[in-house]
Amino acid sequence: MCGIMGYVGHRNVVSMLVDGLRRLEYRGYDSAGIAYFEEGEIEVKRSVGKLSSLEEILPPLPPDSPSGIGHTRWATHGKPSEENAHPHRSGSLVLVHNGIIENYISLKKGLLEEGHEFVSDTDTEVVVHLIDSIYQRGGSLETAVKNALVQMHGSYAICVLSEKDPERMIAVRSGCPLVIGLGKDECFVASDIPAFLSHTREVVYLEDGEIALLSAKGLEVLDFKGARLSKESQKISWNPVMAEKGGYRHFLQKEIHEQPRAIVDTIRGRVAQEEGEVILGAAEINEAVVKRCKRVVLVGCGTSWHAALVGKFLLEEIAGLPVEVDIASEFRYRDPHLSSEDLVIGISQSGETADTLAAIREAKSKNTPTLSICNVVGSSISRETDTVFYTHAGPEISVASTKAFTTQLTALTLLAIHLGRRRAVLSKEKAQEMIHHLILLPKQIEEILRHEARIEDIAKRYFRYRDFLYLARGLLYPVALEGALKLKEISYIHAEGYPAGEMKHGPIALIDENMPVVILATKDKVYGKVISNVMEVKARGGMIISFAEEGDTDLASISDEIFFIPKVSPSLSPILMTIPLQMLAYHISVTRGTDVDQPRNLAKSVTVE
Ligand code: F6R
């Protein structure tokens, strides 16, 4: 976790850092700090809490500084406090770090024996002392960094600045994301692109095992042995406005409303409706892999795991493949049976989730083909899998995932159609029909979004309740899980998602007049059974908030509230049903006054186990 940012160039360093860190706050926000030069010396400012607390202690007229580094923290070692906030200092060096140094205790012991003194509980402070200890023996900072790296175990992205060389900074990547931005006479380094997106779109992705030397003159990249590497820069297509709130009150609301566009971008260039084909292009799966494939294993965490649960239904039904779904954090610990006849698909918005990455590595260690469904281009998971299917949802800033989920579902649908056709289990006509429905989807989502006021109205009536139950069956059951997760993470209301048929096996005991029960139902083969569940809830005094297809007068007549979604083919109902649930969670949270975009205790990309 944590966001790091560095800048070297001609602009005002303090404001560049603050601006960049604001866009990285989704990665952690329990403390923040920056380091910059003032009259030739490094000044460090740190503060507990969000970036706004740091801003209060910054000089009103920031000095001219040739370079600077900054950090926004999500605590791993040591509680959120000023001492534990980054940058950390030793001698003439300051350093920011994202990740975990696993052997920091033994390194610290050696440094203490050398006479180094520590003021924080962090593993990061050990790193800056280690580099400093080597640096003080003579030689360049670059050599000191290289020699320190070989002693460090763990995952990290770090950025170091020396008082002796204000025009240059060094950044290193090993297991945590780091991307360089190249401008005219300036260089940026950050954990994620939005940090510098309003200044440049020319980026270089650092790989694990690479050291970047940044100055206003440009970038040099070395491997850990010091050999120079030639790296190509890429122009990214995200525009700066995409990373801003665009007139919405919160990023979350903006990202909910971006879904029609995001889904168009996921589908764009990938469908040939007349031919009934889905073209994966760069995400094309090797012919031998498709031929050999006897089973798909889907892995992911949180919302991405919910997408995997929907993916199981889609791939089994449309592509005729047996599918298993695993929570990524459990996967490698159960020593899964994998072979070259499986295909492991990792689903991850950020492409940096440590558990999902580890699951992919587990699959690769067993020679199992891998594919990822990712949003962030150039992310670790996208680079480590054999093939990557980018969702192209654009930057998702709000901590709670919204457009990433619906674009993952869109990607899974496309993948299922593609595999169904290649395996000759899906007819051309059926594929044409499915593609037709996919293409209609963005308009149907727009239709749902137009009724946001109705959801706001429901939210205002139910925001005071302490527990919610979400019930659905089949394909919509994972959506019930996702609706409940959205509500609990941003409103702090306790919410559970359950397969409706399971209610009588336990959760029914919870139902009373203080329990709103959210029902998701379309007129499929289990519709009648869901209606019976609704009656069981009503008989015990529970309140029913239903989400159903337009024209469903039966459910309307027995519900306290009803919200209609347009009629849709069953395989796409999870996408449409998700939208009002996201809006419900959003409006309940806004009414309760919680921090919607940065809920407590959470961070956007979970790069630690
Ligand atoms: C919930 C949420 C998380 C993420 C999970 C996986 O709203 O955002 O549950 O879905 O941390 O993240 P990615 O998809 O980046 O691997």
pLDDT digits (tens, 9 = 90+) for 366-393: 999 999 999 987 788 998 999 999 998 8
Total-model pTM: 0.80
Are 164 and 25 found together in one domain? yes
Which residue positions in the chain have pLDDT lower than 50?
A: none
Which residues are paired to 475 by β-bridges? none
Are 524 and 444 found together in one domain? no
Q: Which domain holds residue 383?
A: 251-449
Q: Which two tokens stand for residue 429?
A: 């006509």
- Which atom of ligand 1 is nearest the CA belonging to 606? 11
> How confident is the model at residue 242, as a pLDDT?
64
**Could you give the strand order of the β-sheet that contains 370-374, starting from the edge strand earlier in sequence?**
323-327, 295-300, 342-348, 370-374, 387-390
> How confident is the model at residue 3, as a pLDDT?
92
- Which atom of ligand 1 is nearest the CA belonging to 305? 10
As a 3-state breakdown, the chain gives helix, strand, coil percent values, each rounded to 5, of 40, 25, 35
Are 396 and 297 found together in one domain? yes
Mutate to test the pocket of ligand 1, among 327, 350, 607 (most ligand atoms within 8 A of CB): 350
- Which atom of ligand 1 is nearest the CA belonging to 408? 14
Sequence-ordered list of residues with C-beta below 8 angstroms from that of 525, at least 6 positions apart, any chain: none
Sign of CA dihedral 430, 436, 441, 442: positive
The reply to whether 601 falls in a domain is: no
Mutate to test the pocket of ligand 1, among 301, 388, 406 (most ligand atoms within 8 A of CB): 301
Domains of the chain: total: 3
The reply to whether 605 falls in a domain is: no
CA nearest ligand 1 atom 10, residue: 303
Task: Tally DSSP H helices, then E strands, for the chain.
Answer: 19, 27
> How confident is the model at residue 150, as a pLDDT?
95
CA angle 514, 516, 518 (to 5 degrees): 165
1 close to ligand 1 (CB < 6 Angstrom): no
303 close to ligand 1 (CB < 6 Angstrom): yes
Query: Contact at 8 Å (CB) between 112 and 40?
Result: no
**What spatial distance separates the first Cα and last Cα of the chain, rounded to whole Å?**
10
> How confident is the model at residue 238, as a pLDDT?
73
Distance CA 447, CA 445 (A): 5
- 291 labelled catalytic: no
**Which residue among 395, 429, 449 closes a domain?**
449
The reply to whether 413 falls in a domain is: yes
Ligand 1 centroid from CA 549, angstroms: 28
Are 102 and 230 found together in one domain? yes
Three-class HEC string of 487-500: HHHHHCCEEEEEEH
- H or E segment and range at residue 133: helix 123-135
Distance CA 251, CA 460 (A): 21
Three-class HEC string of 302-369: HHHHHHHHHHHHHHHHHHCCCEEEEEHHHHHHHCCCCCCCEEEEEEECCCCCHHHHHHHHHHHHCCCC
> How confident is the model at residue 10, as a pLDDT?
96
Q: Pick the catalytic residue from 45, 108, 488, 604.
A: 604
The reply to whether 597 falls in a domain is: no
The reply to whether 602 falls in a domain is: no
Are 137 and 223 found together in one domain? yes
Which residues are paired to 45 by β-bridges? 34
Which residues are paired to 570 by β-bridges? none
- Give residue for tokens 């899906």: 426
> How confident is the model at residue 201, as a pLDDT?
92
Are 439 and 501 found together in one domain? no
Which residues are paired to 300 by β-bridges? 327
For residues 11, 12, 14, 20, the Cα torsion angle rounded to the nearest 10 degrees is -40
**Which residue among 413, 429, 449 closes a domain?**
449
Q: Pick the catalytic residue from 2, 187, 293, 301.
A: 2
Which residues are paired to 348 by β-bridges? 374
The CATH number of whichever domain residue 233 belongs to comes to 3.60.20.10
400 close to ligand 1 (CB < 6 Angstrom): yes
DSSP state of 58: S
Query: Contact at 8 Å (CB) between 171 and 158?
Result: yes
> How confident is the model at residue 100, as a pLDDT?
82
The reply to whether 23 falls in a domain is: yes
Count CA within 13 A, CB hemisphere, residue 605.
Answer: 32
Are 236 and 275 found together in one domain? no
Are 159 and 186 found together in one domain? yes
- 2 labelled catalytic: yes
**Which residue among 223, 243, 263 closes a domain?**
243
Are 421 and 501 found together in one domain? no
The reply to whether 606 falls in a domain is: no
The reply to whether 225 falls in a domain is: yes
144: burial class by Cβ within 10 Å (0-12, 13-18, 19+)?
A: buried
Q: Centre a 10 Å sphere on the Cβ of residue 164 and count the other Cβ atoms it contains.
A: 12
Phi-psi region at 63: left, alpha or beta (left = phi > 0; alpha = psi -120 to 50): beta
